[in-house]
Structure formats: structure tokens, C-alpha cells
Structure 1
Amino acid sequence: MDLTYDGRALVLEDTLVVADCHVGRGTGGELEFPVGSGSEMVERFRDLVERHEPDEVVVAGDLLHSFQTVPRTVETTVAGLRAVCRESGARLVVTPGNHDTMLDSVWDGPVEREYRVGDTLVLHGHEAPEGDADRYVVGHDHPTIEIEGQRRPCYLVGEGQYRGSEVVMLPSFNKLNAGVRVNTMSAGEFQSPLVTDADSLAPVVWDEHARETKAFPPLGEFRRLL
């Protein structure tokens, strides 16, 4: 199954996957910015859905950011994401993450611990999967790569990473998440138990200006070039 990388999302055949929306982050205090959440997130989501016309969209965990309260702006944003899918005819599914403790207060749609797309399982990645698959698509760690002093959100792709299967880790869909700098990280420093060999993870960076992906060597080799 071919993968298409686009705008912090991933396309698997007729399925669009995003991870770590963290809706609600930046709703108050010093984190009140015009990017990363709210209408800006919904518009980026709409662009992806209109461009790829998926049959279904899967949120790979941490749709929400809040652990204890859900501001009204969060309800509005989640309703906006739902409306985009409804208008396009796509089914929206959520695989809960560790931040989604209040999910049922804003979401009454399909919820799956892990969601199968052909030979791939989509899940948040904060816990070990129950099912077997040739590929696991996860989020959770918010990977970024630093190149020439600039940090960029990245996907991480590793063959034979977990139970002999490939793991693809998505960057955070929420631009307010600074992410973790993976340049020098070992497997034990990742929060996801699906990362077992950091050196074999190959970064893939989406270039928003050129609207194309740039693939780099696995971290074990890439570190020597940085």
C-alpha cells in the first residue's frame, strides 16, 4: 500500500490520517495565537479533505488537548472538523490518545482503539497495539528534525521497527505543538513503545512552500551528516 505525505497528514488508499490535533491548546493565557487551533486547523483540514477526497478520515489520537475541562471553542472546532467530513461524504473515526480523557463530551461518533486499513493499523501509539499488522501508523511523540539550525515537523518511517513491521510516525497536526527534536534521540527517549530502533527511523519532511516531501537517510546515518 503506497503512502502519500501531505501537510502533516498521511493518505492510505482512500483513508486520510491526522494525529495530535490537540484541539484546545492555545485557548488561553500566553498561548493564544492565530495558528494551530480553531478555524486555522479546520481550514487546513478542509484543504486536505478536498484535495484527496477520502472515504474516511482517522484521527490517530489526541484529538483533544485538555485533561479536565473542555472550553466552548473546543466544541466549535471539533464540530468544524465533523462538518468538513460530513460535507465531503467522508466517515470520521477517532482512535483515542492519552489526552482524550474528555472525548465523549464533544464526540459521539465512531471510536476505535486501533483502526485497520488493509494491512495497516492506525492508533495513537502511546500504548502497545493489540492487533498484528504489516505497518503501524501512529502519532504521540510529535517528531521534528533540526536541519541547519531550523526545526521542521517530520514523519518518521522505520522498517522492521515493531514486531518486525514498519512504523510510520506522524508529526503533530497542531502547529502550536513545538514537538521533540529527534536528531539525537535513542529509542528509549521516545514515548511510544512502538519505537525500538531510533537509528533506523528515516525522517520525511513536508515542504509547505514547494508542496513536496523531502526524504532523508535513517537517523543513524543522518546524524553524521548534520
Structure 2
Amino acid sequence: MARGSRPRIEPVPDAPAATVDLGADRALVIGDYHAGIEAGLRYERGVELPSDGPARRQRLLELLRNEHAARLVVLGDLGHRIGSVDGAEREELDSLYKAVVENFGARITVAPGNHDGGLEGLWGDLEGVDILPQAGGLLGDADRGETVGVCHGHTWPAPELLSAEVICMAHEHPTVKLTDSVGGYRTEKAWLRGRLDRDIMAAGVDADPDTITWGDPELVVVPSFNDRSGGTWVNVESEGFLSPFLPEALVDADCYLLDGTRLGAYNSV
């Protein structure tokens, strides 16, 4: 297969979102939307917060509009509850579908995450929605060798994703802990971008590393779109990663803030 130009995943400045051209479509890529999280926090932790659903939706619509995107790609955890979708979460997802598909006219592609167990029953038959398998899928132009693998990252990706030039995942909610000279600290959302180890990835998907179609993909881990969903401090060793293939499969990876600041290797920030 002839290789084309590597698809460019371009982070949107100062936003937890990126753009990518997928053939005829320009797509906006986000992860970890966590619709209905406030109801979940009330049930899980006894935390009472007013819903930020309308503001989340408006922020997303502004990004779609400003980036001239015809498709929204969600890298999993579109909803928050694990299992059935009801109550406030269902209301927010219904409003999101109406706003993005019916009113704005964009398609939605979802690579399901561990919080999306009820999504197929809610959105599976809706016009304008494509729900990928749990292990993700390929988007783009395979004939030209210009493909992007998309998955949530809570499981090993489907073997075909390893043929892509770029793999985008979420799940980690990557953040960095930045400490000042007097011991104070702040946390900020971050991007991770780096290369993957072929042998580790092939073994994880039960494939032969010598015969697997290997695109030498760049891994892009996107920050959480939801501001209330917490995160993994990727530069704190004791935190640990959530994905089954991280950090072992990362040959190297740099960390970037939302404003584009490159902090260098994530494990030495």
C-alpha cells in the first residue's frame, strides 16, 4: 500500500480538541465529554454541582463552527455513567445530538469508551451517528495510506489500527503537575504525543511483530473535554496510567500544554 502524507492532528489552541482532515471531511476530535457528570458525582461522591451541560454543548458547537468541521469524532466516554443511560445524562445526550446533527449538520463518530455501555441502545439507530467497535477503528483514506486510528484506550486497540500513521486515544485525561520553587503547585491539562513500540503493541493484540502491518504510528493522547472529570498526572510516577499499554508501549513522548507550550519528555517535566 502506497503511503501518502501523514495525517496532521492539529490541536486547537487553548482548547482540549484537535482537527484532522479525513478525505472530504474536516473533523473535530475530542475525548471524555462525560455528559451528565454532575448527576454521577452526586450519586458517586455526594458532590452537589449545577449542571454544566449547556455550557459544554455551547463550547463544543463554537469549536465545530470556528474550525469548519463537518464531523465530530469522540474518542470515548461521551456519557458518564457506566451502564444504562437515563435521567440527566440522557437529557444532555439528546440535546447534544439535536444540536450537533440536526441543527449544525455535522456527523458524529464515536469510538466507545468504558463509560459508554448504554450508548448503542440510545444512539445506535440514529441518522448521522457512527459507533465504532470497542477496540476502535480506522478513519480516512486507506487507499492513499492516509489513515487515523481512533480508540478510547481502555482496551488494546484493534490490530488494524497499528497500520495507521496516527492513533488518537483518550481515557487518560492527561494532566501535568507543575510545582513552583516554594512547593506550591498547579495542574493543567496536557497532550501526549510519541512513538509506540511495535513488539509490545503486536504482542498485546496477539499478532506477530514481524508480519503485522505496521504504520509506525504516532500516538496522540488527547486531554479531557470535560472540566470536571479529573485527570492523570502523567509526570508523577506514583500516579500510574489507566490504559493497558501505557506507559510501557511508549518509546518516547513529549508533553504539551493547551496553549502549545512544549514541556519536553512527559516523564521528566
- Tell me if TM exceeds 0.5: yes
2:108 match? 92
Residue aligned with 1:57, SS: strand
Are the equivalent residues in 2 in contact too, given 1:144–1:154 (CA < 8 A)?
yes
- Whether 1:177 and 2:237 are equivalent positions in the alignment is no
130, 135, 154: which one pairs with 1:110? 130
Residue aligned with 2:218, SS: strand
2:265 match? 218
Figure out how many residues of one structure are paired with residues of the other and give that number: 215
Distance 1:199 1:177, change over 3 A: farther
Are the equivalent residues in 2 in contact too, given 1:23–1:64 (CA < 8 A)?
yes
Percent identity over the alignment is 26
Residue aligned with 2:261, SS: strand
Q: Matched residues in 2 for 1:176 and 1:58: separation?
A: 20
Q: Which has the larger radius of gyration?
A: 2
Are the equivalent residues in 2 in contact too, given 1:15–1:56 (CA < 8 A)?
yes
- Whether 1:3 and 2:9 are equivalent positions in the alignment is yes
Shift of 1:85: 2.2
Shift of 1:18: 0.9
Shift of 1:184: 2.5
CA-based RMSD: 2.3
Q: Matched residues in 2 for 1:175 and 1:92: separation?
A: 21
Q: Matched residues in 1 for 2:266 and 2:169: separation?
A: 18
12, 26, 32: which one pairs with 2:48? 32
194, 198, 214: which one pairs with 1:158? 194
Q: Matched residues in 2 for 1:82 and 1:93: separation?
A: 12
1:42 match? 57
154, 175, 178: which one pairs with 1:144? 175
Q: Matched residues in 1 for 2:48 and 2:16: separation?
A: 22
Distance 1:98 1:51, change over 3 A: same
Are the equivalent residues in 1 in contact too, given 2:152–2:169 (CA < 8 A)?
yes
Residue aligned with 1:189, SS: coil
Q: Matched residues in 2 for 1:150 and 1:51: separation?
A: 29
Superposed CA offset, 1:27-67 (max 9, x none): 135433246x4112101111111111112111111111112
Q: Matched residues in 2 for 1:47 and 1:125: separation?
A: 27
1:209 match? none
Q: What is the identity, as a one-letter code, of the residue corresponding to 1:61?
A: G
1:18 match? 30
Are the equivalent residues in 1 in contact too, given 2:195–2:250 (CA < 8 A)?
no
Shift of 1:119: 2.1
Distance 1:80 1:161, change over 3 A: farther
Distance 1:138 1:161, change over 3 A: farther
Tell me the TM-score normalised to structure 2 length: 0.72
Superposed CA offset, 1:91-149 (max 9, x none): 11111111111113432332112241332111111112221212110001111001131
Runs of 4+ residues deviating >4 angstroms = none
Are the equivalent residues in 1 in contact too, given 2:110–2:132 (CA < 8 A)?
yes
Structure 1: 5+ residue runs without aligned partners?
207-211
Tell me the TM-score normalised to structure 1 length: 0.85
Q: What is the identity, as a one-letter code, of the residue corresponding to 1:80?
A: S
- Whether 1:59 and 2:74 are equivalent positions in the alignment is yes
Q: Matched residues in 2 for 1:110 and 1:57: separation?
A: 10
Are the equivalent residues in 2 in contact too, given 1:158–1:166 (CA < 8 A)?
yes
Are the equivalent residues in 2 in contact too, given 1:9–1:173 (CA < 8 A)?
yes
